[in-house]
């Protein structure tokens, strides 16, 4: 064995021990407290963000819109978080827009007479809500949506900004905005056709607001897997999340960034983006350690926090 490989192996083992010692149990507790979200850490590096207004069917009020954006912005830079599971508490995932809160909030622009000024206020709200949804995508950590029972309106927009989706067999999805007399404006029209790969089916769902059941969600590619019930879903999704959390965070975050970027750019632009990323990241210890582990058949490799 060459001295270079020996040096690499010792560096790899050192980093592996250092990474393990970096996993501080003190950090694995609920962090920032949110009013409408519950954050827990079920396994090292795996966070569970739960929509937590069960008595209001997890409907989106102003606070929830704001806190989702705030939460994913924080998780984006949290080195203890490598993967996020997004679920809902109570009887269903979410009933979508809280129409009672929406009626109250409309007073802010309802009293303004001039159409241009009203429009400006509405624009501010719409773009803030869009940013809240997009925060899942802008967060470099993979987000796994776990849906049980109903996922309506804003909820369907929310899960289309996640990386992967899973559901229970009693789950159903609805793009309901058309019934409210509005064109959906927080991401589902943009993201759904690309996820399910059928523009025709996406338009049918958005124009008719018909419910899509779990079997159709699976066959159309909206979800990756259907589970018997919420308990088995949470267990199964946690296993997938743990698997991802054990991988190099540089590799996982780079992969997410490349896939989000490539969805919206040409193949050539995507190739350039990943070449620029990897010209830096292939110099990281994760790459050296990963290759050495493979070459020396080490199976328990761990990676330092990022």
Ligand X SMILES: CCC/C=C/C=C/C(=O)SCCNC(=O)CCNC(=O)[C@H](O)C(C)(C)COP(=O)(O)OP(=O)(O)OC[C@H]1O[C@@H](n2cnc3c(N)ncnc32)[C@H](O)[C@@H]1OP(=O)(O)O
**Which residues in this chain contact ligand X in the complex, by CB under 6 A?**
56-57, 59, 95-100, 125-126, 129, 150, 152-154, 176-177, 180, 185-186
Q: Which residue is nearest to ligand X (CB)?
A: 153
- Classify residue 182 by burial, with Cβ atoms within 10 Å: 0-12, 13-18, 19+: exposed
Cβ nearer to ligand X, comparing 229 with 272: 229
Tell me the two tokens of residue 50.
């739960």
Cβ nearer to ligand X, comparing 57 with 293: 57
CB of 176 to ligand X, least distance (A): 4
CB of 276 to ligand X, least distance (A): 35
Cβ nearer to ligand X, comparing 56 with 141: 56
Cβ nearer to ligand X, comparing 176 with 191: 176
d(CA 29, CA 41): 6
CB of 259 to ligand X, least distance (A): 26
The 3-state DSSP class for residue 290 equals helix
Cβ nearer to ligand X, comparing 56 with 230: 56
CB of 65 to ligand X, least distance (A): 8
Tell me the two tokens of residue 172.
């159903």
CB of 301 to ligand X, least distance (A): 44
The 3-state DSSP class for residue 32 equals coil
Cβ nearer to ligand X, comparing 184 with 252: 184
CB of 56 to ligand X, least distance (A): 6
Q: What is the CA radius of gyration of the chain?
A: 21
Q: Which long-range contacts (CB under 8 A, 24 or more apart) does 179-187 make?
A: 179/209, 180/97, 180/153, 184/153, 184/157, 185/126, 185/129, 185/130, 186/126, 186/129, 186/130, 186/132, 186/133, 186/154, 186/157, 187/130, 187/133, 187/134, 187/157, 187/160, 187/161
């Amino acid at each position: 064995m060459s001295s270079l490989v020996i040096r690499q192996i010792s560096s790899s083992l050192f980093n592996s021990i250092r990474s393990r010692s970096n996993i501080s149990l003190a950090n694995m507790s609920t962090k920032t407290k949110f009013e409408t979200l519950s954050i827990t850490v079920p396994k090292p590096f795996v966070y569970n963000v739960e929509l937590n207004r069960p008595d209001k069917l997890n409907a989106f009020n102003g606070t929830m819109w704001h806190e989702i954006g705030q939460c994913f912005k924080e998780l984006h830079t949290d080195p203890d978080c490598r993967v996020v599971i997004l679920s809902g508490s109570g009887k269903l995932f979410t009933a979508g827009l809280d129409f009672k809160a929406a009626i109250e909030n409309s007073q802010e622009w309802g009293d303004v007479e001039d159409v241009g000024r009203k429009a400006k206020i509405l624009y501010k709200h719409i773009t803030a809500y869009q940013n809240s949804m997009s925060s899942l995508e802008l967060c470099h950590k993979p987000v796994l949506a776990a849906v049980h029972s109903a996922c309506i309106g804003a909820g369907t927009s929310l899960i289309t900004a996640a990386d992967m989706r899973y559901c229970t067999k009693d789950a159903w999805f609805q793009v309901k905005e058309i019934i409210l007399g509005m064109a959906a404006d927080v991401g589902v029209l943009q993201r759904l056709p690309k996820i399910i790969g059928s523009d025709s089916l996406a338009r049918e769902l958005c124009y008719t607001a018909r419910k899509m059941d779990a079997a159709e969600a699976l066959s159309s590619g909206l979800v990756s897997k259907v589970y018997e019930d919420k308990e088995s879903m949470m267990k199964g999704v946690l296993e997938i999340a743990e698997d991802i959390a054990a991988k190099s965070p540089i590799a996982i975050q780079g992969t997410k960034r490349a896939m989000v970027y490539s969805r919206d750019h040409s193949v050539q632009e995507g190739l350039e983006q990943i070449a620029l990323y990897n010209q830096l990241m292939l110099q990281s210890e994760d790459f050296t350690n990963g290759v050495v582990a493979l070459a020396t058949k080490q199976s328990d490799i761990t990676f330092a926090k990022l």
